[in-house]
Amino acid sequence: MNGRIYDPANGRNGAAATLCVRDGRVVAESALDDSALVFDARGMAVLPGGVDMHAHIAGPKVSAARRMRPEDHRDAPVRRTAATRSGVMGSTPSTFATGYAYARLGYTTVIDAAVSPLGARHAHDELADTPIIDKGFLALLGNNEYVLRCVRQGEAEKLVHFVAWLLGAVKAYGIKVVNPGGVAVWKDRGGNVAGLDDGAALGVTPRQILLALAQAALDLDLPHPVHVHANDLGQAGNWTTTLDTMRALEGRRAHLAHIQFHSYGGERGGLPASRVADLAGYVNAHPNLSVDVGQVMFGDTTSMTGDGPVGRYLHQVTRRKWLNADVELESGCGIVPVAYRRRSHIHATQWAIGLQWFLLMEDPWRIALSTDHPNGASFLAYPAIVNLLMDREARREACRAVNQRALARAHLLDLEREYSLYDIAIVTRAAPARLLGLAGKGHLGIGADADIAVYDDHGPWAQTFGRPRLVVKGGEIVVRDGEVARDVRGRTFSVEPPWDRAIEPDIRKWFRDFHTVEFENYRIDA
């Protein structure tokens, strides 16, 4: 009671009010009786639980990164307590530590943005072992051989049926497209694609794959549109490919992931420069598009990507150890340790580009805070990022420590905007929940999931968002004064195959007749 509620989905901007919870939901005050537990949040900010719509926290790739980097965990133990189990932190924390650490920041929902269908069982096992937070994952389909075969043969209807079946079979939440066609080329002949009309494996182009899967998501009325990791990630000059990708969608809904890594000007092979103004201008003018940022923060982390050729490229650039894994007929993965340095021209440019995206997007409902954990930084950097967005002077101070030539080319210091607490509640809660189609998340209206974060906002913003006074998950108090007080089990989200909304009236019969998936070299009997 008495807390200042920031609930943008319901237009509440800091007015003091009483928030009531019963049976894991937000309810009207009349639904409670005198036995209700009361927490006095006078002078504190009350927000919905945080929603991270793009992270990597489970599955074969994350387990491989944990094994690959033992030095990353050595000095970061999580001790067992009366309320928690033991684990390790680092850039790829163990399952227990991941859930606890997110909860300690006030986050209650996390989506893993890239799991191969063949790795789904592994991912589900790890997600079930990740405490407190609700979670789900997106299935990698942009280089799936059967998808490419349907696209090549012009079998749009069969593709929709296959996607519906696959999402249901692996219990995924949506469709992820990573470097469409490029990973298949990498696995086939060690190459890659750069533009949307480059030839890919099986004789289809990235443009054809992108459009087919974007349309499939629409035809199936999935809660979240196709989630796109565009071609040519990380290369100077790749902003033109990103703009082509946006235009190619022709009004179809799509979410562009870790957009910072796709916003580089300059000459290919040279130093990157910012082209955020051009791309943000296009997104601002096209409401079918949304983005998450993939903010880079300085320090040591681990790059993990379903974009196999990018993994190799990072290995060549950094000369650090490299893991490559190919998932037969589906996808790939590359893992490389990365250290982002303030004095590096490239790293300072990446840092500035991410902040530019936040400051140039006119509609905060179509941009979400992410570090593409752990690629740009650990999710533990979220309080520091919030501080940079809300405090212009803190941002200017941070700019003094980075490569000045890179900073001058990015024009970050020309941007005076400061985010309000209401804006932060949008980009960390309300917007990602809405973009994901999670109706019970990201708001505090009647009937919402009782996921609540209470912050004492009298100190610097990094301190405020780094240590909530109280976190409630599903109506249970799980964090008090920054420490985990209770270990509860979160849910795992998935989409049920939307049979009643599919374009085939009797899709069940179609699947009964669809017994065999045929490939060139062998058969899979369903």
- pLDDT, residue 474, reads 95
Between CA 25 and CA 5, with CA 173 as vertex, the angle to 5 degrees is 35
pTM of the entire predicted model: 0.93
- pLDDT, residue 498, reads 56
Q: What is the DSSP letter of 288?
A: T
**CB within 8 Å of 212: residues ≥ 6 apart:** 147, 150, 151, 156, 159
What element of type H or E holds 452? strand 452-455
**CB within 8 Å of 417: residues ≥ 6 apart:** 359, 392
Q: Is beta strand 273-274 parallel, antiparallel or unpaired with respect to 264-265?
A: antiparallel
CB 452 within 8 A of CB 49: yes
- pLDDT, residue 1, reads 62
Three-state SS sequence of 291-303:
EECCCCCCEEEEE
- pLDDT, residue 515, reads 37
CB 397 within 8 A of CB 368: no
- pLDDT, residue 289, reads 98
Q: What is the distance between the alpha carbons of residues 390 and 157, in angstroms, rounded to a whole number? A: 47
- pLDDT, residue 39, reads 85
**Single-letter amino acid, residue 220:** L
- pLDDT, residue 497, reads 64
Q: What is the distance between the alpha carbons of residues 58 and 46, in angstroms, rounded to a whole number? A: 30
Q: How far apart are the first and last CA of the chain?
A: 55
> Strand (E) positions, 162-318?
174-178, 226-229, 254-256, 264-265, 273-274, 289-292, 299-305
Consecutive sets of 10 residues in the chain, 526 residues long: mean pLDDT of each? 92 93 90 78 94 97 94 84 90 96 98 96 96 97 94 93 92 96 88 88 92 96 96 96 98 98 94 96 98 98 91 88 87 93 97 98 98 98 98 97 94 95 98 97 96 91 96 96 93 76 46 40 38
